[in-house]
């Protein structure tokens, strides 16, 4: 079953799990205390936005099952190229708030600058958020360059803001209705569920992003989308970026004592993926804590010349 439904957690459970993981990080690596504090402030806003989106009116997407199944069968992520109305007013508040948190949390003037440009309307929040949802790195880079903004920071703040919306969409199209579980006797399997079963790409079937990392539960390697938090498992054990499964693809634990935290590195494409053994898959948005917990793995991979590749481009150029 390649697409995995991650059970959503109740608010108190989510808060408690996040706090426990943050405390554990600081205990082992006290130098990360400021990074943890910033992440806590960012995630409080992200979680509250997620609740507001869930409580509001969700967009009606025109994605008939057969159309969606055919799209997935061509290797195109479900949301790619779809006109999706964003709750801009709701998201823009968080966008500005997150710029403020980042400014106070160490990004300083660079984040303040982004906030001013958005608040003054010099940069259109709706276009920025739309570009983030369609994973259009070029549009965001160009828009940032024109206004003298730090492109990576613009990308990050937009991604943090649109993430909860992408998560809600991902669940709406994949995790609800007849797409889950086995069909009643005598009925055919939902075409989308069947298409998801056949999904064998390293990028997310919902939004097309690469996984932030893999969480391995009971030997099942679940790739976790860095944007919408989707979880999916591939039929083969290979490089998620280029499909290499021969000698150039190596899995190793940089720390001998911690075989539960590994790196998959590929000398064919120079990509790397962090892989950790865990008991449960992280519910949204706790995957970003997992990313912080494994920062040493990123360092180890980058020291050896590996990197995370750019996003694949599914935008339709007209
Ligand atoms: Zn995704
Ligand atoms: Zn590769």
Cα–Cα distance, 308 to 306 (Å, whole number): 7
Q: Which residue has the tokens 């007209």?
A: 318
C-beta separation of 290 from 25 below 8 A: no
- 178 band by pLDDT with thresholds 50, 70 and 90: low
Which ligand has the nearest atom to the CA of 308?
2
The pLDDT > 70 percentage for the chain reads: 96
Cα–Cα distance, 100 to 157 (Å, whole number): 10
Residues in the chain: 318
Residue in 245, 244, 199 with CA at minimum distance from that of residue 222: 199
Burial label, 197 (beta-carbon count in 10 A; 0-12, 13-18, 19+): middle
pTM: 0.95
C-beta separation of 210 from 202 below 8 A: yes
Residues 197-212 have pLDDT tens digits of: 999 999 999 999 999 9
* Cross-strand partners of 275: 214, 262
For residue 247, report the distance from its CA to the centre of ligand 2, in Å. Answer: 11
163 phi and psi angles, rounded to 5 deg? -50, -50
224 phi and psi angles, rounded to 5 deg? -120, 115
The pLDDT > 90 percentage for the chain reads: 90
Residues 27-53 have pLDDT tens digits of: 999 999 999 999 999 999 999 999 999
Which ligand has the nearest atom to the CA of 229?
1
Cα–Cα distance, 99 to 85 (Å, whole number): 23
Which ligand has the nearest atom to the CA of 306?
2
Residues 130-142 have pLDDT tens digits of: 999 999 999 999 9
Residue in 201, 198, 222 with CA at minimum distance from that of residue 276: 222
* Residue 318: pLDDT over 50: no
Residues 271-315 have pLDDT tens digits of: 999 999 999 999 999 999 999 999 999 999 999 999 999 999 887
For residue 301, report the distance from its CA to the centre of ligand 1, in Å. Answer: 23
């Amino acid at each position: 079953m390649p697409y995995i439904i991650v059970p959503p957690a109740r608010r108190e459970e989510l808060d408690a799990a996040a706090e426990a993981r943050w405390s554990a990080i600081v205990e082992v690596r006290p130098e990360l205390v400021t990074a943890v504090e910033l992440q806590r402030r960012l995630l409080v806003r992200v979680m509250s936005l997620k609740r507001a989106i869930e409580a509001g009116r969700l967009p009606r997407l025109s994605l008939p099952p057969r159309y969606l199944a055919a799209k997935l069968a061509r290797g195109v992520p479900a949301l790619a190229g779809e006109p999706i109305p964003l709750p801009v007013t709701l998201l823009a508040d968080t966008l500005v708030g997150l710029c403020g948190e980042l400014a106070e949390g160490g990004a300083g003037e660079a984040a303040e600058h982004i906030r001013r440009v958005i608040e003054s309307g010099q940069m259109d929040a709706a276009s920025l958020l739309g570009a983030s949802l369609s994973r259009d790195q070029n549009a965001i880079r160009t828009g940032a360059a024109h206004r003298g903004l730090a492109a990576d920071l613009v990308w990050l703040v937009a991604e943090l803001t649109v993430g909860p919306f992408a998560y809600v969409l991902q669940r709406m199209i994949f995790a609800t209705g007849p797409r889950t579980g086995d069909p009643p006797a005598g009925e055919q399997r939902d075409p989308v569920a069947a298409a998801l079963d056949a999904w064998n790409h390293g990028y997310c079937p919902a939004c097309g992003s690469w996984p932030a990392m893999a969480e391995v539960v009971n030997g099942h390697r679940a790739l976790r989308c860095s944007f919408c938090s989707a979880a999916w498992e591939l039929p083969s054990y290979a490089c998620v970026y280029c499909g290499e499964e021969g000698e150039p693809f190596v899995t190793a634990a940089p720390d001998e004592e911690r075989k539960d935290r590994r790196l998959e590195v590929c000398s064919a494409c120079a990509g790397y993926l962090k892989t950790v053994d865990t008991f449960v898959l992280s519910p949204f948005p706790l995957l970003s804590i997992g990313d912080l917990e494994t920062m040493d793995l990123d360092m180890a991979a980058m020291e050896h010349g590996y990197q995370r590749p750019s996003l694949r481009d599914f935008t339709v150029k007209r």
